[in-house]
Amino acid sequence: MSASSLSVSARIFWLIFLVLLFLHQDFWNWTDERTVFLGMPVGLFHHALFSVACSVFGAWAVCRAWPKEWEEWADPLDASSEESTESKSSFPKE
Amino acid sequence: MSVLPVIIVYLSLLLILGWGSSRFFRGTSRDFFVASHSIGPFLLLMSVFGTTMTAFALVGSTGKSFERGIGTYGLMASISGLIHMAIFFLIGIRLWALGKRHGYLTQIQFFRARFESDGLGYLLFPILVLLVVPYLLIGIIGAGKVIEPVTAGAFPELFTNPTIPAWLGGVPPWLSGLVICLVVLTYVFMGGSRGAAVANAFQTLVFMAMGMVAFYFVVHSLGGLGQAAQTPMRMTEDGSIVQDYRFDQQEGVLKKRDEPLKIGSVKDFSHSNPTPRHPHLQREPLVAEFKRKNPQTGELVSFEREIGTSFWSFVTYLFIPLSVGMFPHLFQHWLTARSARAFKLTVIAHPICIMIVWVPCVLIGTWATGLLPPGVPPPAVLSATLDMLVGDPLLTGLLTAGVLAAIMSSLDSQFLCLGTMFTNDVVVHRSGKEAYSDSQKLRIARFFIVGIVFLTYLLAMVLKNANVFDLAVWCFSGFSALFPLVFAALYWKRATKQGAVASVLAALLTWLWFFRQSGYGGEYFVGPGITPAAICFLASSLALIGFSLITTPPRSSTIDRFFPKRS
């Protein structure tokens, strides 16, 4: 479960993230004011589509890259999590 | 006058909802602080979305696009869709697992344990409160700015000192801010966090629906989407800025002016692209000069405004949405959610929800540039546009209720979160769990909340003309400067207590420096247009890395606790 060894799905996650980050800049639309769809100029329409792409990315992440190991690690101790941190923590006060 | 009863009915509905929730309130401090254990995917989405979208989303985005144009959406909304989604996924789920496994309730408990430092909690608490205050401020200021224009003329003999002369007799910001604070406090105190979550979901649905209704009626009044797209102010070949249309309120139709009305001119025209265009429909920056009437003297005063967005501002704005990783109320949701699966809907739907709310607001703000005087205060653009284009008091009242819903759905979670942190991380942590009874803990939380709300209210009255969008950006910038702390806590084993303290101090000092430079809440960029958030983030990251590397690594027991090995 360490962060050092990235799984294939984690690598794909970061790759898609970086591609979307680049697409967000859309410098090619900066001086274009054509209205393309539902009264939106192209610069705004691009970003509305970008929002939809982020949702699709989220759906992919949930289906293909969900960190099940963290879920499984946390769930078995469901009952004991009712205890508060205060009672469990052994860190000395400064 | 008919707008007010609609608003009053809406506020009464919220109080009834709070009363209904109080019937399920068990009266314990745990139930008051953390109902998230019983919140499912839909309520979680509504709660997370509702709390992140405040006056900033509806009032602020419309005002900002009135100033800068469509680039406003890319600056904050679309990039937030990507960054928020990634943070929910990369940070939220790990925090949930650690919270579930070790029983953390607040982010300060988590950081104290992860960085083996009690003092870090005491350092972090006042900073988090300091940064939440602007978030509360924008809600209170936004409420005032929305209600005054739509109630203009209702009480001309009672309220004689309006923000601008046209709003004479409107309910003043001091009164609307006070009423909003009292209503939110009442339903939060009655229903605790469960009541707040239910009210949140209700209000989120209300403001999303009302946003769409407002958009429909604005488009209808402007004669359809195609016609509306033509209305923004235009720049001519000689550098004048003109309005080509006017809205005839008698007939309720948009009319083309016989002669374009000159409202301003491009400054330093030789450096601007001289092609005739609508500067608000693009992102290429230019500086324009306009005139506005001084409300006290009636004298015309010149002012400058940058339209569009510079390349560096656009790129470095991506640091601002990182703030969600450190918002105390979201942190609490992550630590205490019923199950990790509850987050799936939020990860998927959050960017779409942002789009549903922001696209109409940005378009309305952009179109309004061709209809309203340029001197209208940005936070008042939405209500002034609705008042001019929609007109019908019942409808305007409903739409105003939608804006108030967005504002209040943020205030309630923030109020609760502050009370939870103060009680658990300061009072109980210092005195021990047994020092106070359950009812005493509840009372302490409530007193602290009332104190903070009172101070924030006073501050809101002083800063009543502040730009809601800019103030929100300052709040987000502070939280994003703290983001390296949570990222390192979850992904870097070598991060130490000293690194964490250095990071928090670097974030605080750089933020305070830039905040002062901005005149305490104005729009401010460094050099070619770099947002201060990027520099604060960098300083905080470097301090964390540098101090962690030169100090002793955390104990192996701590590492094992926060970085479970693969089975």
Output b/e per residue, B63-74; b: 16+ Cβ within 10 A. Answer: bbbbbbbbbbbb
B244 and B234 Cβ atoms separated by less than 8 Å: yes
Helical residues (DSSP H) of B115-233, grouped into ranges: 118-150, 173-221, 225-228
Task: Name every chain B residue with its beta carbon within 8 A of the beta carbon of A20.
Answer: 82
Q: What confidence tens digit (pLDDT) does each residue in B430-451 have?
A: 888 788 888 888 888 889 989 9
What is the pLDDT averaged over residues B214-243? 89
% pLDDT > 70, chain B: 95
* Spacing of C-alpha B530 from chain mean position: 21
Tell me which residue in B70, B283, B348 faces A55 most closely, judged by beta carbons. B348
B425, closest residue in chain A (CA to CA): A86
Least confident interval from A28-37, B24-33, B405-414, B480-489:
B24-33
Question: Considering only CB atoms, which chain A residues are within 8 Å of B564?
Answer: 1, 73
Q: Does A15 touch chain B (CB under 8 A)?
A: no
pLDDT tens per residue, range B334-379: 887 878 888 899 999 999 999 999 999 999 999 999 999 888 888 7
Contact A84 B433 (CB under 8 A): yes
When scoring B82, B353, B421 by the number of chain A Cβ atoms within 10 A, the one with the most, hence best to mutate, is B82
Asked if A14 reaches chain B (Cβ–Cβ under 8 Å), the answer is: no
CB–CB contact A81 B278 (8 Å):
no
Residue B288: name the closest of B263, B267, B309 by CA.
B267
C-alpha B95/C-alpha B82 separation (Å) is 19
The ipTM assigned to this model is 0.87
Give the tokens for residue B456: 């924030």
Residues of chain B with Cβ-Cβ distance to A32 below 8 Å are 282
**For residue B348, which residues of chain A lie inside 8 Å, CB to CB?**
55, 58-59, 62
Total residue length of chain A = 94
Residue A48: the pLDDT is 95
Q: Testing the interface with B: which of A1, A40, A47, A72 to mutate, by most B Cβ within 10 A?
A: A47
Query: Do the Cβ atoms of B536 and B480 come closer than 8 Å?
Result: yes
- Higher pLDDT: B53 or B224? It is B224
Contacting residues for B144 by C-beta, under 8 A, at least 6 apart: B172, B173, B174, B176, B177, B460, B464
Main-chain dihedrals φ then ψ at residue B530, nearest 5 degrees: -75, 135
Separation between Cα atoms, residue B120 and residue B108, nearest integer Å: 8
Give the percent of chain B with pLDDT over 90. Answer: 35
Please give the pLDDT value at position A87: 41
Which is it for the CA torsion A61, A62, A66, A70, positive or negative? positive
Structure tokens at B465: 């003309």
pLDDT band at B497 (very low <50, low <70, confident <90, very high): very high
The answer to whether the Cβ–Cβ distance between A39 and B348 falls below 8 Å is no
CB contact under 8 A, A71 and B340: yes
In B, which residues are within 8 Å of A94 by CB distance? 117-119
Q: Does the pLDDT of residue B547 top 70, yes or no?
A: yes
Please tell me if residue A73 touches chain B, with a CB cutoff of 8 Å.
yes
A70: closest CA of chain B, how far (Å) = 6
Residues from chain B that touch A89, judged by Cβ atoms under 8 A, are: 112-113
Tell me, yes or no, if A32 comes closer than 8 A to chain B by beta carbon: yes
CB contact under 8 A, A1 and B81: no
CB burial string B98-109: b at 16+ within 10 A, e below? bbbbbbbbbbbb
Task: Encode pLDDT of B289-335 as tens digits.
Answer: 888 877 667 778 888 888 988 889 999 999 999 999 999 988 888 88
The pLDDT of residue A90: 38
Please check the confidence at residue B81 and state whether its pLDDT lies above 80: yes
pLDDT at B360: 92
The pLDDT of residue A55 is: 96
Placement of tokens 């502040």 in the chain: B466
Per-residue model confidence (pLDDT) at position B35: 58
Q: Which of A39, A71, A94 sits opposite B226 (nearest CB)?
A: A39
Among B82, B99, B284, the residue with its CB nearest the CB of A21 is B82
**Position A1 pLDDT exceeds 70:** no
Angle at B368 between CA B367 and CA B369, to 5 degrees: 90
Q: CA of A13: which chain B residue's CA is closest?
A: B86
By the 8 A CB rule, do B499 and B551 touch? yes
User: Can you give the length of chain B in residues?
Assistant: 567
Whether the per-residue pLDDT at B34 is higher than 70: the answer is: no
Contact A85/B at CB under 8 A:
yes
B146 vs B404: CA distance, rounded Å? 8
How would you label B182-219 residue by residue, b for 16+ Cβ within 10 Å and e otherwise?
A: ebbbbbbbbbbbbbbbbbbbbbbebbbebbebbbebbb
* Confidence (pLDDT) at B38: 63
Contacts of B250 (CB under 8 A, 6+ apart): none
Task: Please report residues of B whose CB lies closer than 8 A to that of A80.
Answer: 103
- Tell if the CB–CB gap between A51 and B355 is shorter than 8 Å: yes
Q: Is B11 helix (H, G, I), strand (E, B) or coil?
A: helix
Whether B284 sits inside 8 A of A31 (CB atoms) is yes
The pLDDT tens digits for B238-297 are: 888 999 999 888 888 888 898 899 888 888 766 566 666 889 998 888 888 888 877 667
Model confidence at B544, in pLDDT bands (50, 70, 90)?
Answer: very high
- Largest Cα separation within chain B, whole Å, is 78
d(CA B323, CA B301): 37
Interface test with chain A among B70, B80, B353, B358, by most A beta carbons within 10 Å: B70
Whether residues A77 and B101 touch (CB distance < 8 A) is answered with: yes
Distance from CA of B119 to the nearest CA of A (A): 7
Asked if pLDDT for residue B200 goes beyond 90, the answer is no
Q: Which long-range contacts (CB under 8 A, 24 or more apart) does B165-169 make?
A: B165/B293, B165/B295, B165/B298
Query: What is the average pLDDT value for chain B, to the nearest integer?
Result: 87
> Is B118 in Cβ contact with A39 (below 8 Å)?
no
Facing A24 at nearest CB: one of B78, B113, B311: B78
Q: What is the pLDDT of residue A94?
A: 33
B-chain residues near A35 (CB < 8 A)? 226, 229, 281
* pLDDT exceeds cutoff 60 at A3: no
Mean predicted confidence (pLDDT) in B111-132: 93
Q: Which two tokens stand for residue B137?
A: 């401020």
Residue B29 has pLDDT above 90, yes or no: no
Instruction: Report yes or no: A62 at the B interface, CB cutoff 8 Å.
Output: yes
pLDDT digit string, tens, across residues A18-72:
999 999 998 888 888 888 888 899 999 999 999 999 999 999 999 999 888 888 8
Residues in chain A with CB shorter than 8 Å from the CB of B433 are 84, 86-87
**pLDDT exceeds cutoff 80 at B515:** yes
pLDDT digits (tens, 9 = 90+) for B124-182: 999 999 998 888 888 888 888 888 888 888 888 888 888 878 788 888 999 999 999 99
